[in-house]
Amino acid sequence: MSLGSPRFFNGFLSGTLCTALAFYFYKTDDYKKTSSDRLTQVNLHAKESYHLTDVDPETAKQLRGSEILKYGIPDRGFNARLYTNHVLCYDQAKKIPVWVAELITKSDLRGHADREYSNFRMDPTLDAFFSSHNNDFIGSGWSRGHMAPAGDNKFSQQAMDETFYLTNIVPQDISNNDGFWNRLEIYCRDLTNKFKEVRVISGSLTLPTVKEGSKKFVNYEVNSSNKNQVIGNNSVTVPTHLFKVVTAENPQQPGSPVAVGAFVIPNQPIEGSAQLTQYKVKLEDLEKSAGVYFLPRLPPSKRVDLCSVDSCQLISQEALELYFVGRKLEDARTLERLDSVWKDLERRHLVPDDYLIHLYKRKRESLSPTR
DNA sequence: CGGCTACATTTC
DNA sequence: GAAATGTAGCCG
């Protein structure tokens, strides 16, 4: 069975993922058949019983519905798609995911999977007709931002590779992606030090802005390698905002509440001094904007505010940049490169810790020509 | 960690 | 020979 098979997922999530009509087809027919198989079967059934007077109104509607949709159920493709370590809902019109869900545990963060071996590419399980393309992003001024991060999948190269499928990607401001969003992703990973199970649902929004006094308008950029064509082109929606819904719990303590946090971040550069709590929102407000219930099986009585049981403190921008410097020092292959990285650190007035100073000295010795 | 571009290689 | 794909080096 393919990863994105709608048939599999309709089976147990049909109430939220499908129309009532589709649900009827699932309930009344063998779900291993294709929808057109099922439709045909219902049609035959309808021909036999349509004029029976004892058919109840609900059944009559279903039978009539199958006649109306003789040529199939118009399908926007909002079925959930399954991958090694994430699940997502893709918008075929906007050509970006609606939401991407993942589970992070400590063991997922250990391993040798490396982005070096991954490439951004079209999702092989998605109809290419509705897919974005790398060319829609390259040179557009927008970066390819992961929703489920690559770094949450160190345990499996396959899982990491799948996060590079364009079904998991939205056009994102690169400074935002490198900075604040990066710090938020690191924060979610660090939550596994306190909670056994961390679940994150990430996605994007196209929020309206107020214009002409009180009138609101939705206005967002669309990206495409085909710049001029309007109808039938391949435009990728540039979201105005990104969100994360975080749940964290220690499930071995039965009955204990689940920590829940919801955050909405503008898709633009964010000041290095910004804190996560500035972007905290009520989950209900996010749900209303997104048109999605994110935690339908978690009653409000079992929720507790994440930022009341955790600091919700991101690592500082300075600490993040020092980490970059460390990685670059380690990767330096020449003395020139090593010194260039160190000079850049001084230029930006970053204060290296003892580890960084020692690393620099050690690398300098190992790269110096032997006499 | 998160990305990019330039250039080389492969593929049709 | 153009387009897709892979690699090296770079930046925040």
**Domain ranges across chain A:** 6-68, 81-313, 318-367
Q: How far is the CA of A179 from the C1' of B2 (A)?
A: 8
User: Which positions ≥6 away from A235 have C-beta within 8 Å?
Assistant: A95, A136, A222, A223, A224
Query: Residues A366-371: what's their mean pLDDT?
Result: 74
Residue A228's pLDDT is what?
Answer: 74
- A21 has a pLDDT exceeding 80: no
pLDDT value for A7? 35
A146 is catalytic: yes
Token pair 């899982």 in the structure block, residue: A159
Backbone angles phi, psi at A268, to 5 degrees: -155, 170
Q: What does the pLDDT look like over A108-130, one tens digit per residue?
A: 999 999 999 999 999 999 999 99
The CA–C1' separation of A280 and B1, in angstroms, is 23
Domain A81-313 homologous superfamily, CATH: Extracellular Endonuclease, subunit A (3.40.570.10)
Q: By mean pLDDT, which of A90-99, A199-208, A331-340 is the weakest?
A: A331-340
| pLDDT value of residue A370 | 67
Decide: CB of A154 under 7 A of nucleic strand B.
Answer: yes
Q: Is the CB of A226 under 7 A from strand C?
A: no
**3-state DSSP assignment of residue A261:** strand
Residues A231-256 as b or e (16 or more Cβ within 10 Å = b): eeebbbbbbbbbbbbbbbbeeeeeee
Each residue's pLDDT tens digit, A2-15: 333 333 333 333 33
A139 CA vs C9 C1’ separation (Å)? 19
Q: For residues A132 and A93, is the Cβ–Cβ distance under 8 A?
A: no
**pTM, two decimal places:** 0.85
Q: Is A177 one of the annotated binding-site residues?
A: yes
Task: Report the DSSP beta bridge partners of residue A145.
Answer: A170
